[in-house]
Amino acid sequence: MLVVMSGLPGVGKSSIAAGLGRRLGAPVLSVDPVEAAMWRAGVARDQPTGLAAYVVVETLAAEILALGQAVIVDAVNDVAQAREMWHDLAGRRGVALRFVQVVCPDPGLHRRRLESRERGIDGFPEPTWASVEARRANFDAWDGERLMLDSLAPIDANVQRAVDHLTRDSARRESPAGMWERGMAP
């Protein structure tokens, strides 16, 4: 199974992705550390490193899926092209694709979270509130199926809701033994 997290910076998707990864025993591939690594390696920031980071994560996810393991992708995924890339990957690998979108309906809280977070990604500056607002205004409409999580709920509750959703959905398609083999605990 390919699980793709989506949501604006600072809504809590990385925290939920990490909890989900621990619960499912699945690796979490995040776009931001990959982009930061490119910059540290000397790739100029005026190059399309954001796009390149998505492509690198897609390649790594494809390799993990080829091993028969579940993988979680942690990225904003605010444009339809990015989401289509994950559809294509799931189709090529013949795996289920599940999107999880995290939202924070309280703009004040969202801004406080964004401005106070310290992820410790070497060389990666945190986005400004203005840049997050610009991304919100340009977030492509979403017509596909996804699980929506409200980050006002506790992280553990959101992780449990996602696990329940993913495992319930998988249980309809395969036996518990098959789920264990793919890293998806029933």
Cα atoms found within 13 Å of the Cα of residue 78, Cβ hemisphere only: 18
Angle between helix axes 49-66 and 31-40 (nearest 10 degrees) is 120
Question: Long-range pairs for 43-46 at CB < 8 Å and ≥24 separation?
Answer: none
Query: What CA–CA distance (Å, rounded) separates 140 from 81?
Result: 9
What pLDDT shows up at residue 161?
96
- pLDDT of 151-184, one tens digit each? 999 999 999 999 999 988 665 554 433 333 333 3
Region 122-142: what's the mean pLDDT?
Answer: 89
Residue 96 has pLDDT above 90, yes or no: yes
DSSP annotation string for 136-176? HHTPPP--S--EEEETTS-HHHHHHHHHHHHHHHHHTTS-H
CATH numbers and ranges of domains, the chain: 2-181 (3.40.50.300)
For residue 171, the model assigns a pLDDT of 56
Query: How far from 109 is each of 5, 17, 79, 82, 129, CA to CA, in Å?
Result: 20, 20, 24, 27, 12
pLDDT above 70 covers a percentage of the chain that reads 90
pTM given for the model: 0.87
Residues forming beta bridges with residue 165, ordered by sequence position: none
68: pLDDT strictly greater than 50: yes
Lowest-pLDDT choice from 77-86, 126-135, 162-171: 162-171
Contact 49, 38 (CB under 8 A): yes
Instruction: Return the pLDDT at 172.
Output: 53
User: What's the pLDDT score for residue 180?
Assistant: 31
> Looking at residue 181, what is its pLDDT?
36
What whole-number distance in Å separates Cα of residue 137 and Cα of residue 130?
A: 11
Residues 14-65 pLDDT 10s: 999 999 999 999 999 999 999 999 999 999 999 999 999 999 999 999 999 9
Nearest C-alpha neighbor of 160 from the set 29, 19, 26: 19
Q: How many residues in the chain?
A: 186
Structure tokens at 137: 């205004």
Single-letter amino acid code for the residue at 78 = D
Would you state the pLDDT for residue 2? 98
Average pLDDT of the chain is: 89
